[in-house]
Structure 1
């Protein structure tokens, strides 16, 4: 008999700043545990690129940073940002270059109300399960623009949004595929009643794509009204697609209505897999609680589960999410963001303890 070769994956780890340093180790422990249960191996390689690295070197990552990351199958990111470094420096020095160099044009952000978690909304009996597909490579987050007459009373700033047909079409096509796998309903965020050029263009491309997919029901909703729907009728929403800015804002609302920013995962995807994809929680570095050991690791652990699915280990990803569900439904372990007193270590241990029983139950 010959032994069946064990799948082996290489993952770059960027703990980054603040609570990223606390929740990333938790996610790594969980991945290693579930990999052992499912018979594959994950090799982690940590890179110290962060605001602390910037303070020492004057850059967020070295000149060969992208080349180093390109050697890996995926990237697990904790958080980027610290009060000591302006946000536009930290984000445009690390996070945004990674997303764009590796053509991670889909930012996938689930907003799911898990069993045992209390939403701030009054009525969630119908449940909340929204999948936001955010365009991640262009749109409002561009480098086109500048300032004139700085430091004078005549100072002016110009910021140019960039919407290409290729960029808009491909992210909507991806959202259509996600909707097809779920309810067959797709909502597009727009603001074409006020933003006359880019949003009317977005709407036209959306209609063109939907005409090619009559099996999926698509509708355009102004982003302000859609934000209100996230709060008043979240159970009526399924897959939502939006531009870079609109998707960013809507997913913060989604994270809060399902219980906590600490619960929200995300995936920066290169769907064609021509470069590594990157997985990170939505919550950011949270400097106000960094170092206390009380950060909720669920968002990071869930992001790691999305990573496992992307790597070709969907059962392992489901096992991780099943363990998280079991811990939260049990209600014994709650971090402060969920009105509890548990530490990051407590929550991590609880998820690790639930892994084996979930794996056996599958």
Structure 2
């Protein structure tokens, strides 16, 4: 029996709801498979926890997380706490503290899901986001607050080591896909230092991957290309900010933010990686039982793959696609199913399925 230790952090908004659904599906999968087990430990870190204690992560919290094989994360963000406080209090300390520098966000239209985009069936992308520096490095400051001369600076940091490693990660990923195509997203026409270096290092690294076809797109032009020429894209590599924005667009074009997964990877496995759905806290539907758990289930697929559980991951992805094809859809996809309905349908499919073969 293969055992994997998972830290579950539901956190805010619909996070606890979808993480609970994800754990239910993973339990059904483990029971059916019989060869692996997930040992789950829940952590109450959230904005409610912060308001009660004055911190999101208690002293020694990251040291505690280090012993886990992966982190299953819901969402962070509360209407009672400023966004920059919650993000820098919980998610970013984990992602940066564990050097989860490769944020991976696949996007495609699942069976039974309708894209708002004509030609949406051509969407089959993976957006690779540099996750440790760039525009979200946390460098900058405020001075002369409240005065006419008040100033705020936000400094984007690009290091050769950080840029090279994310480009190499993206090239290796592109090598594994049929199209073997990688698009560089940049804004070096206006940002003439860090982004020019970003482009130059990409060109240097490309020489080591001659089997991968490359092209380059300015971030503003990239938005129109995603809408007008989706078939021309495969793997995309972009900075922390650019990929953050583009991946939300990719999710929406795929049908809903409620179906989009994310992996925050430490590829060298020196630290645990963190897996989270893309949709965020979704205050408007919190507690209503209608949050779409598909993003969390697909995120669980990515977590299983990272843990080396490739056959269970295939089985779960097949279950997801069968349920979306059967139109068991939550309201964000135009349906009337609840979170529990979708979870039950996926669990039932798993229970009835045969073992997946490679």
Paired with 1:153 and 1:49, the residues of 2 have a C-alpha distance of: 39
Indicate conservation of the 8 Å contact 1:109/1:131, yes or no. Answer: yes
Residue 274 (structure 1) aligned with residue 267 (structure 2): no
* Equivalent residue number for residue 3 of structure 1: none
2:62 maps to what in 1?
66
Question: For the residues of structure 2 that align with 1:357 and 1:170, how far apart are their CA atoms?
Answer: 42
Structure 1: runs of 5+ lacking an equivalent: 1-5
Give 2:234's aligned residue.
Answer: 238
Cα distance between partner residues in 1 of 2:295 and 2:75 = 11
**Pairing 1:176-195 to 2, within 5 Å after superposition:** 176-182=171-177, 183-195=179-191
Are the equivalent residues in 2 in contact too, given 1:9–1:41 (CA < 8 A)?
yes
Quote the Cα distance in structure 1 between the aligned partners of 2:240 and 2:119.
Answer: 30
- How far is the alpha carbon of 1:357 from its aligned partner? 3.8
Aligned to 1:54: 50
Q: CA RMSD in A?
A: 1.0
8 Å contact 1:37–1:359 — kept in the other structure? no
Structure 1 residue 315, shift from structure 2 partner: 1.1
CA 1:206–1:358: 2 relative to 1, 3 Å: farther
Within the candidate set 29, 37, 41, 1:41 is matched to 37
Structure 2: distance between partners of 1:185 and 1:283:
27
Secondary structure of 1:71's partner? coil
| Distance in 2 of aligned mates of 1:258 and 1:96 | 26
Distance 2:117 2:291 in 1: 23
Partners of 1:172 and 1:123 in 2: how far apart? Answer: 29
SS in 1 for 2:20: helix
Find out whether 1:158 has 2:158 as its counterpart: no
Shift of 1:220: 1.3
How far has the Cα of 1:358 moved from its partner?
A: 4.0
- In structure 2, the partner of 1:293 is 289
Please state how far the C-alpha of 1:360 moved relative to its aligned partner: 4.2
Q: How far apart, CA to CA, are the structure 1 residues paired with 2:118 and 2:325?
A: 19
| Unmatched 5+ stretches in structure 2 | none
CA drift at 1:37: 2.1
- Check conservation: 2:95, 2:132, Cα contact below 8 A: yes
Number of paired residues?
A: 355
Q: Give the SS at the match of 1:140.
A: strand
Which of residues 20, 23, 27 in structure 1 aligns to 2:18?
23
SS of the residue 1:202 aligns to: helix
Residue of structure 2 aligned with 1:79, choices 54, 75, 81: 75
Measured in 2, the distance between the counterparts of 1:173 and 1:356 equals 40
Paired residue for 1:138, among 133, 136, 141? 133
CA distance in 1: counterparts of 2:334 and 2:242, whole angstroms:
29
Does 2:335 correspond to 1:340?
yes
Q: Is the 8 A contact 1:53 1:61 kept in 2?
A: no
Say if 1:97 and 1:217 are closer, same or farther in 2 by CA, change over 3 A.
Answer: same
Contact conserved, 2:315 with 2:355, CA < 8 A, in 1? no
- Where does residue 167 of structure 2 map in the other structure? 172
Q: Deviations over 1:99-133 (max 9, x none)?
A: 111110000000011111000012234x2110011
Q: How does 1:213-232 map to 2 (within 5 A)?
A: 213-232=209-228
Q: TM-score, normalised by structure 1?
A: 0.96
